Chains A and B, each alone.
Chain A
Amino acid sequence: MRDRLADTVVLRGAFVQEKQLQGFRNPLRSTGEFVLARGHGMVWDTRTPFASRVVMSARGLRVIESDGSVRVIAGDAGASVASTANALMMALLTGDTAALSAQFAIEETLLADGGWTLGLVPRPGVMSTLYRRIDVQGDRFVRRVALEDINGDRTDIRFVELRDAPAELSAEEAKRFD
């Protein structure tokens, strides 16, 4: 599977996210764009139905609202949430099985069409307090991530229009991390 996956430094694309939350009958569907850069972190731009930007970086986890106001979910020291979420999303989107296998038991399936799937079950530890399981599906890129939280919430993210060139952040993309 590592052979099939492109070794990306910067990955950008669009997403369609569907959340199924406890207490909600209907799924919550949102769309937007993201940029992921190794060494920097990730910017998650939700465009519809409500705009917001989530920046995960070494500086923590920040939400930038549509009106420009910034809310720090986890600052430097609240490192927990930020670094856990950040590291996990980075590992999932880059298919970093080496990093994931420290915290998850991984079941890998290679498909005939060049695709693959990973089934991740948390090992005892921090991840087991957050997730029941995580499924990843991809080919050259990761195409889909499905997370099932410990409280029963599900998040299903499909990625489209993925591009790993150029391998550096454009000036505009880099600005989003600020």
Chain B
Amino acid sequence: MIDLSGNATRLRRRWRWAAAAWLTLVLALGAHQISFWSTPRLDGDILALLPGEPGDPLLALANQRIADSATRQVVVVLRGANWDESLAAAHAFTASLDAQQARLRPVASEQGAAAALAFYRPFRDRLLTPAQRTQLQNANPEVLAEHALAALFGPSIAGAISAWQADPLTLWPAWWQQRLGRNLGQRDGMTIAMDSDGPWIVLPFVVDAAAFRLSSEAYLQSVLDRASASARTLAPTLSVLRAGVPLHAEAAAVRANWEVNTIGLGSLLAIVLLMWMVFRSVRPLALVSLSLAIGWAAGVSATALAFGNVHLLTLVFGASLLGVAEDYGIHYFASRQARDAMGSHALMRHLLPGLLLAWSTSAVAYLALGIAPFPGLRQMAVFSGAGLAAAFLTAVCWFPWLDRGLPPMNRFGRAIAGSLATWPRLRLQHRSTWWAIAALSVFTVLGLLRLEVRDDLRSLQSSPATLVTQQRQIDALLALPSPAQFYLVRGNSAEQVLQREERLAARLDALVADATLSGYRATSGWVPSRSRQHADAQLTARLEMLALRRASTAVGESVARPAFATTDLRVEDWLQQPLSMPFRPAWLGQTGDVWASVVMLDGIDARTDLALLQRQAAAVPGVRWVDRTADISQLLGHYRKMMGSLLLAGFALVALMLALRYRSLAWRAVLPTAVASLLTLAALAWLGEPLQLFTVLALMLLLGMGIDFGIFLLEHRGDGASWLAVSLGAASTLLAFGLLALSATPALHTFGLTLLLGISLVWLLSPLLRPLPVAVADRPAGASVPIESIHRD
């Protein structure tokens, strides 16, 4: 079978071409890497991992707008023992940021307020709060006029925003107050937010646009910490809270940086150590490391090319790939050690079918991650597929050229290789075997009964608890709108959208009145529909003219009402104003024939009655209730079930294929992985880990990797040298996923833990079920040496 001498030259020539071609690709990869890392397009936003809305482009647009609007905003709120202390602390805080030349710009509010007043002043006559509208419709005009005169003759109120004759019924301040939010105000030039313990000073900032980097330094956090410390010198009891997407993103980046380094370096160290112990030579180490570096770089580049950016979680997950991709190199060197006489090219050619099969089975398992429409999982699938391919090609194309032979197998290698022969076999005639099976069955059944299903969006989240707590406090204090629950309002014109918003708003006002809802934000609050503007302008004109006539009589001169705008207040003009900046994302404008907007809800929390909110949408045409959290949980659940079925189908398919080849022995290859999967699930349940999509996906990877143990032990009965190669690979795989289990991201933690348990169990169980060694005559011809045994673990 191994007839190489005649073809050796041809083979080397062919290999030279392959090596050169791969070199070209690797050089291109290097160029792409340099350009990528000089301005890395890394993404730390958890929402970027979530699926879009393929069915509804408007909803996708709404989600995009909401996500984009928050990416650069940071809010700090602070409060000292009293107002003067808070004020001094706020000034010290901003002064410290200035002195640090922080990449945080305060959002100026004062000139903004003057410009906003000037923009709205001509339209003042048509801006009413719902309460005012009701009041004006029902009140006695004479009484209103008398109140107006009392205000005219009463004490002047400093800082009134309009002259008496321009707003005799003092309607405008309440309208503005409603726009600002009920518990927000201004004091001594500061924005304040009240809670039961008094005013907080609110300091909004915008983070200067800067590329998102994988960094070990929490820049914003340290800058804000120093500013807080500086403010505390003036107010020792100062409370400072901060919130904003950039802070979460930064924490995620720092965490991901740590995880990538830990998992990456940890796996690498393990591989280096194991290889050194077995091969005692630098060259295999260097070559395997090279294949890993190229594999990882290819993963990054392929992901960047396919998706435009690379998510941090992809990098973290990708780091664990090192523990899998090293197998090709290790297999090569393990066989090389055993078959030193065969030339390196001939050996590689001989190994090629096995390696290709090994690569393709794991690649398929990894690519199956991408079946669910989660961009995050698809990135991981592409990253892993490309990374494995590049590591594989590096080993295949280059190792025969660069390899210069190995010292013979040492004692450590022989010890592992020899361990297979002494590994116990499962003997069904022993009573203790049955006891063990019974105990494991009890463990498994009780565990599976405990298993809790959780299809929760939070499995992707890893923000530090302090940040989450502060975010929640600020959300409640400032009644920040929820990015996940909102109404999508559609119409055939801007006017119809605004009218529908107003109908919805009337229903929401009732919920706000009985405190079921803390508030909402609608564009129609800033720009009422044309029909409402006309009606309100008529209402105020009638009542205010009466007040002005009464004032004229009282003062003894004609008091004129200033002229208001003759045109309508329009959304497109409002959108041009600086004032509208924070609210623009909610106005989706025109898409084709459809106009749309988003009505955002404030202060949504666990106690909010979402079903009640959902019912409001049904009552107004063109309004759709969106609950992203529920949608995504549903999606996670759907794909958990679907991938679960695929997993079972995968087991069935593998069992069928193995049955065709191994007949009555096939169960020995399938059972270890099947039992390990069940035991893993049970163990996870006992550890209190819920069953989720990521558990099922991890079991899918387990099937892809674990079944090979059984195949190998059937294919090469009692072959110690291959057992060595597989054990080395398994050890580094285990370590990589064990380190991944340390990830702060629950989804990655689940992946890591499931595979750590699963692969350990398969590794222990497979040799238990191995058949007795058979006579040489039973084997395929010529396969008496470890060459044939090069299989993926």
A residues apposed to B, CB below 8 Å: 17, 19, 21-26, 28-30, 44, 46, 49-52, 54, 61, 63, 65-67, 69, 71, 73-74, 76-81, 83-85, 88, 125-126, 129-131, 147, 149, 151, 153, 155
Contact = CB atoms under 8 A, between A and B. Distances in A.
19 contacts: A19-B156, A21-B164, A23-B559, A49-B149, A49-B153, A50-B146, A63-B151, A65-B146, A65-B147, A67-B143, A71-B147, A73-B157, A74-B173, A77-B193, A77-B199, A79-B199, A81-B157, A81-B158, A130-B159
B557 interface: yes
B485 to A, nearest CB: 25
A80 B173 CA distance: 12
B177 A78 contact: yes
B559 A24 contact: yes
Pairs of residues from A and B, 6 with the lowest C-beta to C-beta distance, nearest first: A52-B150, A77-B194, A50-B150, A30-B153, A80-B186, A77-B185
A82 B83 CA distance: 14
Interface string B364-378: 000000000000000
A50 B149 contact: yes
A87 to B, nearest CB: 10
B163 A21 contact: yes
Contacts of B154: 30, 44, 46, 50, 52, 54, 63
Interface string B140-178: 000100110111111111110001110000100100010
Contacts of B156: 19, 147, 149, 153, 155
Contact of B152 (A28, A76, A77, A129): A28
Interface string B173-198: 10001000011111111001110000
A104 to B, nearest CB: 13
B170 A81 contact: no
Contacts, number: 118
A42 B193 CA distance: 24
Contacts of B155: 17, 44, 46, 54, 155
A26 B184 contact: no
Nearest to B199: A79
Nearest to A64: B150
B592 interface: no
Contacts of A17: 153, 155
A41 to B, nearest CB: 13
B375 to A, nearest CB: 41
A77 B187 CA distance: 9
Contact of A46 (B150, B165, B199, B560): B150
A129 B165 CA distance: 21
Contacts of B170: 71, 73
A97 to B, nearest CB: 17
B619 to A, nearest CB: 31
B159 A84 contact: yes
A65 B152 CA distance: 13
B555 interface: yes
Question: Which residue among B147, B170, B173, B184 has the maximum number of chain A CB atoms within 10 Å of its CB?
Answer: B147
B372 to A, nearest CB: 46
Given A26-B555, A78-B185, A79-B192, A65 B157 contact: no
A20 B786 CA distance: 106
B780 interface: no
Given A49-B153, A63-B154, A129 B147 contact: no
Contacts of B782: none
A132 B183 CA distance: 30
B554 interface: yes
Interface in B510-562: 554-557, 559-560
A66 B156 CA distance: 18
Nearest to A30: B153
Contact of A126 (B146, B188, B554): B188
A61 to B, nearest CB: 7
Nearest to B562: A23
B366 to A, nearest CB: 55
Contacts of A21: 163-164
Given A26-B556, A71-B170, A84-B188, 8 more contacts: A23-B560, A30-B154, A46-B155, A49-B149, A63-B150, A76-B194, A79-B199, A80-B187
Question: Which residue among B165, B187, B192, B193 has the maximum number of chain A CB atoms within 10 Å of its CB?
Answer: B187
A52 B157 contact: no
Nearest to A44: B155
